A and B are shown apart, each in its own frame.
Chain A
Amino acid sequence: MTSIQPVDPAKPTERGGGVIVRPFSHYAGHWRAEQKLRVHSGAKLKMHGDAPRDDWRTPRDVELSRLTGGDTDGADLLVVEVFTFPNHLRNDSWGLNLDSDQVSAGSGVSQEYRAFAARLLEYLEFIRVPVNRTCTIRAEISRPGGGPSWTAAGPPAGDKVASDGRPVAESTTIMLNFGFEPRGVVWANQDPSCPWVRLALEPGEACFGPFRQMQLVQDTLGMTEPDFNLIVEPSESEQHANKDLCGVCHD
């Protein structure tokens, strides 16, 4: 039987590391960390990589305090901030024609998608999420019944300055849940004895941070609606720095 260990966000590991999850200054609603965060006893090895054990639980008070930065200055920890985005963007997104055949045939991104992406960036800039105009906005859609898939974001590479003059970590990645059901975002530790941390992103919620070791869990099991997420990522390298909004892919 696996023992449940307290979560220590300051404990660095080869993968995962310490994490603080907190609401961003723009959060429309009531933040309840105890409802949004779960921890568990560690990973189990599977053929295609580690997967969390099935004993997700509500963090204890001391764990919750650490996970939300209550008793740490946050130095050297991965800080993830959660914000909300408005319904009109979600409504607009469902009018997009995200045709995978079109994308795979190399015909590029539709004008509608570009316009939508521009409106999304306007919103992110308005609420002062550190977003770089040279980012890539990637749509991910998973159909219900599919198995969990994993997408790693990163890696970090220097700093840039956002449109409002604030420094932006090149590796800042934003994930927005445009679907109708909550989706899990998991910070994984490779050490199987170390707990993992999961954030439940509700529909209309998003999070951002320098996700060096974040694993995005697309677990569609038990879901009834398509899982639709937008990932706003830094451009892959300087050679793409001047590219505008690009890249729509389907899972």
Chain B
Amino acid sequence: MERNSLSSHQADISPVIDLLVIQPTPFCNLDCDYCYLPNRGDRRKIDPDTLRRIFKAVFESEFLGRQLGIVWHAGEPTTMPIEFYRTAFALAEQSKPEDLALTHSIQTNAVLIDQAWCDFVLETGLQVGVSVDGPAFLHDRHRKTRSGAGTHARTLRGIRRLQDNGIDFHAICVLTRDSLDYPDEIFDFFADNNIGQIGFNIDEIEGANHDSTLTGVGTDTLFRRFLRRFLDLLKQHPGILSVREFDDTMSAIAADENAAIYNHQVMPFGIVSVDADGNISTFSPELLGQSSRTYGDFAFGNVHQGGLDDVENNAAFQKTRREIKAGLSRCRETCDYYGVCGGGAPSNKFFEHGRFDETETMYCRLTKMAVTDIVISDIEADLAQHAAEFVTAAGGQRA
């Protein structure tokens, strides 16, 4: 790949908030062994005053654009009562600028999805993502209750409820080392259960998850082998499943080479994350609630003490911003994949290297480099085949 051929300088782009992550509670009803959240047993809940202040801080910010997605996340959102969301959505609607297009979404383990939740989703247009790692024998190895029981059956029950109500959703499937031997079974699971849109996350070294099953020797090769096989299955069974990683990479490759690749994780205020106590963070949402000797707890402000303007003056924010920018520059100068990646995820740089001005991470190698290589090799193989068919056809016509 031509180095940097696809991108201009993101650092020159003005920040725009396009995602607001609100933590209604840190609590999660599950205890998945790869989870990055440090306080998922904490039953704190966000209070209405904090919520009001979050909306005020964001909606009055100079960085607000015309569209905003609000993700209720960083804990299991369905452990909060539906009435909480009804009130919160109404509050957001009342306090937002008139011309702001607002969407709400949750990422859920679906264990608590019942008819009342489905009714609420249908009533409000709440967008739903379900976390499910494929078939039970893979899912239940990692996605467990606190007593160690598997959760697949209950997640599948929630998925059925959504489907019975005609609710469209996407799935996030976390790939661990165990998954890499079973692309066919993972494909079958999503195809057989009529789940048409999936995204692959990986077992990342991040936050409370200090190690990953994907760090072993030879894992990179196995990961690529998995992707290759999965892409082959998608092509053998067209129209059944779309995979975010392949689609996004295809789009990035097909994009105008002068177009700026936009990575909101490296942009200050591209993503604004606020925890249940009103602490504000930005850049990667996974930084929220984490702690570091160098950077503190990544709480660059608090909605009870000021707005986003105050975050800009926070020393830890400025240090983080400087380092992320330096890391971004290094990525742009040294990495062949910058054009389809845009500088990686600051949280992965921090949790893998202890600092933000780094470049390559395991996350990069697997989710960006490996995917890009597989997609490009597939495009090249298709082009070669078409060329061969064309030559054969042309030869036949001459004969």
A28-B135, A28-B137, A126-B229 known; A87+B181 contact, CB < 8 A: no
| B→A interface (CB under 8 Å) | 135, 137, 181-185, 187-188, 191-192, 225, 229, 232-233, 236-237
Contacts of B182 in A (CB 8 A): 26, 28
Cα A122 to Cα B233 with chains together (Å): 11
Report whether A28 and B185 are in contact in the complex, using a CB–CB cutoff of 8 Å.
yes
Cα A43 to Cα B137 with chains together (Å): 38
Report whether B188 and A29 are in contact in the complex, using a CB–CB cutoff of 8 Å.
no
Report whether A88 and B137 are in contact in the complex, using a CB–CB cutoff of 8 Å.
no
- Tally inter-chain residue pairs, CB-CB below 8 A: 34
A48 contacts chain B at the CB level, 8 A cutoff: no
Report whether B233 and A88 are in contact in the complex, using a CB–CB cutoff of 8 Å.
yes
Report whether A87 and B188 are in contact in the complex, using a CB–CB cutoff of 8 Å.
yes
Residues 30-82 (chain A) with a chain B CB within 8 angstroms: 30
Contacts of A89 in B (CB 8 A): 184
| A→B interface (CB under 8 Å) | 25-26, 28-30, 84-89, 119, 122-123, 126-127
Report whether A29 and B184 are in contact in the complex, using a CB–CB cutoff of 8 Å.
no
Cα A84 to Cα B181 with chains together (Å): 12
Report whether B237 and A88 are in contact in the complex, using a CB–CB cutoff of 8 Å.
yes
Can you report 6 residue pairs joining A to B where beta carbons are below 8 Å apart? Answer: A28-B182, A87-B192, A88-B191, A89-B184, A119-B236, A123-B184
Cα A126 to Cα B233 with chains together (Å): 12
- Distance in angstroms from B131 CB to nearest chain A CB is 20
- Distance in angstroms from B157 CB to nearest chain A CB is 20
Contact of A88 among B181, B187, B225 (CB under 8 A): B187
Cα A29 to Cα B187 with chains together (Å): 16
Cα A88 to Cα B137 with chains together (Å): 18
Contacts of A127 in B (CB 8 A): 181
Contacts of B185 in A (CB 8 A): 28, 84, 86
Cα A122 to Cα B192 with chains together (Å): 21
A119-B236, A126-B229 known; A86+B184 contact, CB < 8 A: yes
Report whether A86 and B187 are in contact in the complex, using a CB–CB cutoff of 8 Å.
yes
Cα A65 to Cα B183 with chains together (Å): 32
- Distance in angstroms from B148 CB to nearest chain A CB is 15
**A128 nearest CB neighbor, chain B only:** B181
- Distance in angstroms from A25 CB to nearest chain B CB is 8
- Distance in angstroms from A206 CB to nearest chain B CB is 13
- Distance in angstroms from A121 CB to nearest chain B CB is 13
Report whether A30 and B229 are in contact in the complex, using a CB–CB cutoff of 8 Å.
no
Cα A26 to Cα B278 with chains together (Å): 48
Cα A26 to Cα B229 with chains together (Å): 15
Cα A87 to Cα B229 with chains together (Å): 15
Cα A122 to Cα B229 with chains together (Å): 9
Contacts of A86 in B (CB 8 A): 184-185, 187-188
Report whether A88 and B229 are in contact in the complex, using a CB–CB cutoff of 8 Å.
no
Contacts of B236 in A (CB 8 A): 88, 119
Contact of A26 among B135, B181, B188, B232 (CB under 8 A): B181
Contacts of A123 in B (CB 8 A): 184
**B134 nearest CB neighbor, chain A only:** A28
- Distance in angstroms from A205 CB to nearest chain B CB is 13
- Distance in angstroms from B189 CB to nearest chain A CB is 9
Cα A150 to Cα B229 with chains together (Å): 36
Contacts of B232 in A (CB 8 A): 122
- Distance in angstroms from A43 CB to nearest chain B CB is 37
**A30 nearest CB neighbor, chain B only:** B137
Cα A89 to Cα B192 with chains together (Å): 12
Contacts of A85 in B (CB 8 A): 184
- Distance in angstroms from B320 CB to nearest chain A CB is 43
Contact of A29 among B137, B191, B229 (CB under 8 A): B137
Contacts of B229 in A (CB 8 A): 126
- Distance in angstroms from B226 CB to nearest chain A CB is 10
Contacts of B225 in A (CB 8 A): 126
Cα A119 to Cα B184 with chains together (Å): 12
8 tightest A-B CB contacts, nearest first = A86-B184, A87-B188, A86-B188, A28-B185, A29-B137, A88-B188, A86-B185, A126-B229
Cα A123 to Cα B232 with chains together (Å): 11
Cα A89 to Cα B188 with chains together (Å): 10
Contacts of B233 in A (CB 8 A): 88
Cα A84 to Cα B135 with chains together (Å): 13
Cα A127 to Cα B180 with chains together (Å): 10
Give the one of A84, A87, A127 with max B CB within 10 A: A87
